[in-house]
Structure 1
Amino acid sequence: MILKDWKPETASLSRRRFLQASAAVGGGMLIGWVDVAGAEPGSAPAAEFSPNAFIRIGLDGKVTVISPSIEMGQGTYTALPMLVAEELDADMAQVTYGIAPPSDKLYGNPAVGGAQLTGGSNSVRGFYKPLREAGAAARQMLVAAASEKLGVDATELTTEKGEVIHAKSGQRIGYGALADAASKLPVPDKVVLKEPSQFRIIGTPVKRLDASGKVDGTAKFGIDAQVPGMKVATVAASPVFGGTLASVDEAAALAVPGVRQVIKIDDAVAVVADHYWAARKGLEAAAPKFNAGPNASVTTADVVAALAKASERDGAVGKSVGDAAGELGKAAQRLESVYENPFLAHAAMEPINCTVHVTPEGCDIWVGTQVPANAQLAASTALGIERDKVRIHNHLLGGGFGRRLEFDFIVQAVLFAKQSKDPIKIVWSREEDIQHDMYRPYYYDRISAGLDPKGELIAWKHRIVGSSIMARFFPAAFQNDLDSDAVDGAIELPYDIPNVFVDYVREEPPGIPTAFWRGVGPTRNCFVVESFIDELAAAAKKDPVEFRRQLTAKHPRARHVVERAAELSGWGTPLGERKGRGMALLFAFGTYLAEVAEVSVNDSGEVHVDRVVSVVDCGQVVNPDTVKAQLQSGIIFGISAALWGEITLKNGRVEQSNFDNYRVLRIDEAPKIEVEIVNNGEAPGGIGEPGTSAVIPAVANAVFAATGVRVRKLPLKADLLRAT
């Protein structure tokens, strides 16, 4: 269920507002805070030093950083506190984290237009400077408080590991002892940030602050929410998008021991019980039937046929340099290909869930969401109540990948909960989760290029056809019929090509909801671009790595990762029969990444990825351990998509239902992964999505090297790769 007229709230956030947001709460200088490790929102105690919305320092010296981004496995609750701690000169042993309450104005990410949104590999990129400024402001105030207390000039004082130090007298004062005095001082208008050469925390491996709770089981995800008097429910929605609920056998459901209530909305039914198993059995007994609606006959073939037809239309221009069409006509060699990327589900480890209690006074929601402010707005709209009467209690996310940027499941839960006298925790089954996802769009690309007599690339033309996520999710990024995300990774190529033309044709599939999926534009554009670059290298009779080296001569960061990945992988050394290496280069999210995949293809056509070498230049690294972990997880995610990822439709219904037919890579199938990080002082790039984006074409190109079969449609199909 989608609120079609909803638009995300955004707000511009000035640096001064960021630093001085504190003035709105008496007894402190903080607008909104939450207790450590995901406890509930409240008001800051007056005895604590809270110079802005992101920092509070207790009398015991403990530093709590209120994270504006949500943790879903990517290391946000460690990397963002590291940024504060660096400029604050805090000891990481005394640092912990809190979860920000809903507020675009206070916790909006500058990298995404000021929305409180975790996604797009933007947490560190967006908050790198603002959080450092917040830490520097707090440090300056603590030094000023120490200056008054000691009766010395502030220039005589230094800071280190949570203490202000007066070297001349040997006196050291902990931040906790200065918290009360510092809280009474004005927030500085200007701060001086450290130079990278002065960093003591940023760039070093730091233990994850959320790791211990995940190891000992105390970490709280949305599915772990416990509320007094809570009942548990599970849901069945129309198997065809756009369908409606026709009938339910309520008596049969209520006859199941433990079942308490059957609740209906226009397109779904929920069975409420004392525990999940009773709810599940009650739902089976209820045997809901649905009116399929207008999309009952839709198939994947229908979607692809519509996309293919749409590809014959001119689209909105994303990039036009030189005369691509004219130079293509003059080229000594001209290549044309069609590439296809399928619908993909998110299939996060934690299935969709939401706990809601609706009372005459308002609504409380316990959930894991990437967009807490948007979730609050959507719930208040659905209930027809004032926004501040909806309280979002956000939790750790057991995987997001873009699925929890959406709030359809929150609206659904709210509509069920308003009919219940008790709080209810709604948990979707894995089948419901996969078959009622919001899917990465199916894309259909036409791409052509021209080579001169020397085999040099002189012209490039790329037409992208598919659904527009931006038109629905963020209309401001959909201008003049151009979806900025759909062309991301296709218009800013890391190659020097004199004539380039990229356009986009919007074609919406009937009734199929589409959404972000761990880097939509770059994920699927990298597959198209890098696979076609390999096609061109073969046509030019050049080695794929050498072809990329020549094209990146004016892009030193790109060229370096290509050369280094080739060197580390042993590019050019023999691998054996039906084995091959494939290279892919990515520039997206502000990051340069080259990956080499080694694969084996057996005689039955089954592909095994044996090894992946990844060299990443993501600018200034905050926590190198997190960078490596994110690349490793992204590679696993991408390999799963390349080998098996595919959502198909038959009679308007999603055919896949669980991990038996929507496969993910298993532990015994995982490749050896080697990651090298390029250290430099460039602006930080994103890291959550690049690994997924680059490994898919690297695997496809390796399959070509092993078998001679060019992969232009995903996922890889064994029947096309069988030995002949």
Structure 2
Amino acid sequence: MTRLSRRAFVASSAGLVIGLTLPFKARAQSGAAAALQSGATDGASFAPNAFVRVAPDDTITVLIKHIEFGQGPFTGLATLVAEEMDADWSQMRAEHAPSDSELYKNLAFGMQGTGGSTAMANSYTQMRRAGAAARAMLVAAAAREWDVPEAEITVAKGRLSHPSGQEAGFGALAEKAAQMTPPENPALKSPADFVLIGTDLPKLDTQAKSNGTAEFTMDVYREGMQTVVVAHPPSFGATVARFDDAEARTVSGVTAVRQIPQGVAVYANSTHAALKGRDALTVEWDERNAETRSSDQILADYAAAAKDGGRDAEVIGNGAAGIDRSDQILEAEFHFPYLAHAPLEPLDGVVEWSGDRAEVWMGSQFPAFDHPTMAQGLGIPPENISLNVMLAGGSFGRRAQDTAHFAAELAAVAKAGGPGAYKLVWTREDDLHGGYYRPLTIHKLRAGLDSQGQITGWEDIVVNQSIMAGGPMAAMMQDEMDPTAYEGATKMPYDFGNARTGWVSQQGPVPVLWWRSVGHTHTGYATEVFLDMLLEAQGKDPVQGRLDLLKPDAGRDRGVLEKVAQMAGWDGTLVKGDKAYGVALHESFQTYVAQIAEISEQDGMPRVHRVWCAVDCGVAVNPNVIRAQMEGGIGFGLGAVLFDEITLVEGGRVEQSNFDTYRMLRINEMPEVEVAIIASDADPTGVGEPGLPPIGPAVANAWRVLTGQTVTRLPFTRATGA
């Protein structure tokens, strides 16, 4: 028995599940998930709903329907349950829920999946109700056990007590609680009574990730398992014409070579042998339908396409009609490269199948897509597959595949290999060469000023490839318009009087995907840098100028902008000695963020010393996680705007291959970050992505006042020549 399956077996003490439709029974990643799946009814533990399990030892395990890859749902969602149960934080545990799109669907999507910074927003009330229901049943059990009125029982720090002196922990009442009827609409706490929500609780997954006991997909080993790597096409859209595997089969440890739809798969007894076998392959590729343009050629084509103005994404007032009649016209064209996600853990997955049933382990961000794709690929019913969602070492959108391309490849590998166990591994080079990038994008911006310097009109034409088109998410498009292509360039908080956003859709073989903050990653930069240019032309202060433009209903935008100015001691002085200051404001995923960056010039590049960040994300469930996500978004976004691009050269080949050519921000380059969280009683919104969009324009605006250079083609290394 493997380490993983042995651990699951020992942990899976029986539990009683009430009022649930149980997921398909299977070995689970962990104990609580196994207990829920087992449907056991011996009363040894108490599982009042699909999310909460109370064990005899008083521990409370929360099944988390959103994948944990560092952004904090284990901690955040467990906090909601603990708050309503009046549990002690030391009791709390968290595990991934198994794949079951009905039980564990994202209420924002209607299916099981993580993305769009929705984990907290869609779970806030649901998880609180799960905790409140469990508490109510435990109180009812105590009242029956002690023969006292429920109203006289109090709960605090995981213990129930009565003025008579009787008291008990949750575990002692688990069996009796399992006999209670779950309340349909349990009462929720008033925010004034919160004890845990709003406090800096330690993350539940930190210890395991620090001591090495946390299990990722690479840690999964099955008996007789083979490791598989795939030779993928060198250009997007190419396919296998023919291959010669004679040399590959001579490599010690290689067991088989199979052609699959995605390329040529090499099976071996170890990762090393699989990689050596792949290196020995000779593959001839059919590139008749492949992308052969370079990035520069694609950008030139996009720039030409921008001239027709595209379709209306948003029109306010007279749109762009009056710009040409203005006393002064400002224009700028911003170029954004393809960007890879480059998470620390590249894609990997394990499948074990018998021919008619299968179990899968992978860092699945969208089980709702991966699960049926695996079933289709293996030719078995979905109910004959169990999918264990594993911890993942980052994603930034990489695992949010509506095409489920990795699950399809994993199924193809198993189908071609026959019944058995297989671990499919992508190297970092595979991932950086493999596409699914942030779309290459152009913004063509124009604005007019009248004789008094007031803005008469604003136009932003966005040119890029749709992420949604052609896949399951296409149903979310509106009249063939993809809102993720230009989000953030529409519904801006500023009153320009007349404004238009246009979108020009492009097509091509390069696969594109959501990248941390999706459309906001480029719209935030283009709009905030161009706005700064307009304010400079008007002779206005960048902070006060923004405040003056805010619409009356943009109170939360105003709040974060005023707060960040106060944090930074903003006095309108843009350059102090060798340092310059830039500001940016952007709302994404209903979270409002303003940032001010302090920079200097070092070796021809910005050296970012400090960043002040104000964020309004509604109720701050765990301020520690919010600060961490703002800091992480700033670091991730800063590295991208300074250094990163995926470039195609002649023939459509990708230049970058690993972190030596796709540069990450280094620890000594990370600025000091100060985060202020605006107090709010609004429902919580996401924090995984909104910290990223303002950092690029804040740095670019500071760089312009310091050097006079407006960076319109990212990254900075390309613009500055550094």
Separation (CA, whole Å) in 1 of partners of 2:283 and 2:27: 44
Q: CA deviation at 1:77?
A: 0.6
Superimposed CA distance per residue, residues 579-628 of structure 1 (whole angstroms, 9 cap, x where no aligned partner): 422111011111111111222223x5233222211111111111111111
For the 8 Å contact 2:33–2:98, the answer to whether it is kept is: no
Q: Which residue of 2 aligns with 1:543?
A: 541
Q: Which residue of 1 aligns with 2:295?
A: 300
1:187 corresponds to which of 176, 182, 186? 182
Describe how 1:604-643 pairs up with structure 2 within 5 A: 604-643=603-642
> What amino acid is aligned across from residue 416 of structure 1 in structure 2?
V
Q: CA deviation at 1:345?
A: 0.6
Q: Which residue of 2 aligns with 1:23?
A: 20
2:380 corresponds to which of 365, 372, 385? 385
1:79 corresponds to which of 76, 79, 82? 76
Q: Which residue of 1 aligns with 2:595?
A: 595
> What amino acid is aligned across from residue 630 of structure 2 in structure 1?
L
Q: CA deviation at 1:399?
A: 0.7
User: Which segment drifts farther, 471-480 or 202-211?
Assistant: 471-480
Q: Which residue of 1 aligns with 2:519?
A: 521
Q: Which residue of 1 aligns with 2:316?
A: 321
Q: Which residue of 1 aligns with 2:661?
A: 661
For the 8 Å contact 1:587–1:593, the answer to whether it is kept is: yes
For the 8 Å contact 1:645–1:662, the answer to whether it is kept is: yes
For the 8 Å contact 2:363–2:390, the answer to whether it is kept is: yes
Separation (CA, whole Å) in 2 of partners of 1:39 and 1:660: 42
Separation (CA, whole Å) in 1 of partners of 2:489 and 2:53: 43
Q: CA deviation at 1:149?
A: 2.0
User: Which segment drifts farther, 574-583 or 685-694?
Assistant: 574-583
Q: Which residue of 2 aligns with 1:560?
A: 559
Superimposed CA distance per residue, residues 406-437 of structure 1 (whole angstroms, 9 cap, x where no aligned partner): 22122112111222254121211211110003
Separation (CA, whole Å) in 2 of partners of 1:204 and 1:496: 37
Separation (CA, whole Å) in 1 of partners of 2:35 and 2:284: 40
Q: What is the DSSP-based 3-state SS (H/G/I as helix, E as strand, rest coil) of the residue aligned with 1:135?
A: helix
For the 8 Å contact 2:299–2:442, the answer to whether it is kept is: yes
Count of matched residue pairs:
696
Q: Which residue of 2 aligns with 1:146?
A: 142
Describe how 1:67-216 pairs up with structure 2 within 5 A: 67-111=64-108, 113-167=109-163, 169-216=164-211
Q: CA deviation at 1:707?
A: 0.8
Separation (CA, whole Å) in 2 of partners of 1:719 and 1:214: 39
| TM-score of the pair, normalised by structure 2 | 0.92
Are 1:695 and 2:695 an aligned pair?
Answer: yes
Superimposed CA distance per residue, residues 434-469 of structure 1 (whole angstroms, 9 cap, x where no aligned partner): 000301111112222233444333432222221111
Q: Which residue of 2 aligns with 1:682?
A: 682
Separation (CA, whole Å) in 1 of partners of 2:312 and 2:645: 29
Q: Which residue of 1 aligns with 2:436?
A: 438
Are 1:230 and 2:225 an aligned pair?
Answer: yes
Q: What is the DSSP-based 3-state SS (H/G/I as helix, E as strand, rest coil) of the residue aligned with 2:501?
A: strand
Superimposed CA distance per residue, residues 548-591 of structure 1 (whole angstroms, 9 cap, x where no aligned partner): 12123622321222222223224345755664221110111111
Q: CA deviation at 1:242?
A: 1.6
Which 5+ residue runs of structure 2 have no aligned equivalent? 1-16
2:463 corresponds to which of 459, 462, 465? 465
Q: CA deviation at 1:276?
A: 1.3
Separation (CA, whole Å) in 1 of partners of 2:261 and 2:188: 55
Are 1:246 and 2:241 an aligned pair?
Answer: yes
2:51 corresponds to which of 54, 61, 67? 54
Separation (CA, whole Å) in 2 of partners of 1:653 and 1:40: 49
For the 8 Å contact 2:32–2:61, the answer to whether it is kept is: no
Q: Which residue of 2 aligns with 1:17?
A: none
Which 5+ residue runs of structure 1 have no aligned equivalent? 1-19
> What amino acid is aligned across from residue 142 of structure 1 in structure 2?
L
> What amino acid is aligned across from residue 380 of structure 1 in structure 2?
A
Q: CA deviation at 1:718?
A: 5.3
Q: Which residue of 2 aligns with 1:492?
A: 491
Superimposed CA distance per residue, residues 25-67 of structure 1 (whole angstroms, 9 cap, x where no aligned partner): 59xxx99986358879732432122221111112222111110
Q: Which residue of 2 aligns with 1:261?
A: 256
Q: Which residue of 1 aligns with 2:412?
A: 415
Q: CA deviation at 1:246?
A: 3.2
Q: Which residue of 1 aligns with 2:8?
A: none
For the 8 Å contact 1:345–1:434, the answer to whether it is kept is: yes
| TM-score of the pair, normalised by structure 1 | 0.92
Q: CA deviation at 1:695?
A: 0.7
Q: Which residue of 2 aligns with 1:503?
A: 502
For the 8 Å contact 1:358–1:423, the answer to whether it is kept is: yes
Q: Which residue of 2 aligns with 1:5?
A: none
Identity of aligned residues (%): 39
Q: What is the DSSP-based 3-state SS (H/G/I as helix, E as strand, rest coil) of the residue aligned with 2:143?
A: helix
For the 8 Å contact 2:72–2:625, the answer to whether it is kept is: yes
Q: CA deviation at 1:86?
A: 0.7
Q: CA deviation at 1:205?
A: 0.7
Q: What is the DSSP-based 3-state SS (H/G/I as helix, E as strand, rest coil) of the residue aligned with 2:48?
A: strand
Separation (CA, whole Å) in 2 of partners of 1:718 and 1:243: 29
Q: What is the DSSP-based 3-state SS (H/G/I as helix, E as strand, rest coil) of the residue aligned with 2:103?
A: helix
Distance 1:606 1:515, change over 3 A: same
Separation (CA, whole Å) in 1 of partners of 2:137 and 2:266: 55
Q: Which residue of 2 aligns with 1:376?
A: 371
For the 8 Å contact 2:489–2:501, the answer to whether it is kept is: yes
Q: What is the DSSP-based 3-state SS (H/G/I as helix, E as strand, rest coil) of the residue aligned with 1:564?
A: helix
> What amino acid is aligned across from residue 275 of structure 2 in structure 1?
R
Separation (CA, whole Å) in 1 of partners of 2:192 and 2:89: 19
Q: Which residue of 2 aligns with 1:16?
A: none
Describe how 1:338-349 pairs up with structure 2 within 5 A: 338-349=333-344
User: Which segment drifts farther, 562-571 or 334-343?
Assistant: 562-571
Distance 1:444 1:134, change over 3 A: same
Distance 1:585 1:574, change over 3 A: closer
Separation (CA, whole Å) in 2 of partners of 1:344 and 1:40: 42
Superimposed CA distance per residue, residues 160-181 of structure 1 (whole angstroms, 9 cap, x where no aligned partner): 12222223x1322222122222
> What amino acid is aligned across from residue 323 of structure 2 in structure 1?
L
Distance 1:32 1:526, change over 3 A: farther
Q: What is the DSSP-based 3-state SS (H/G/I as helix, E as strand, rest coil) of the residue aligned with 2:168?
A: strand
Separation (CA, whole Å) in 2 of partners of 1:69 and 1:682: 22
> What amino acid is aligned across from residue 406 of structure 2 in structure 1?
F
Q: What is the DSSP-based 3-state SS (H/G/I as helix, E as strand, rest coil) of the residue aligned with 1:533?
A: helix
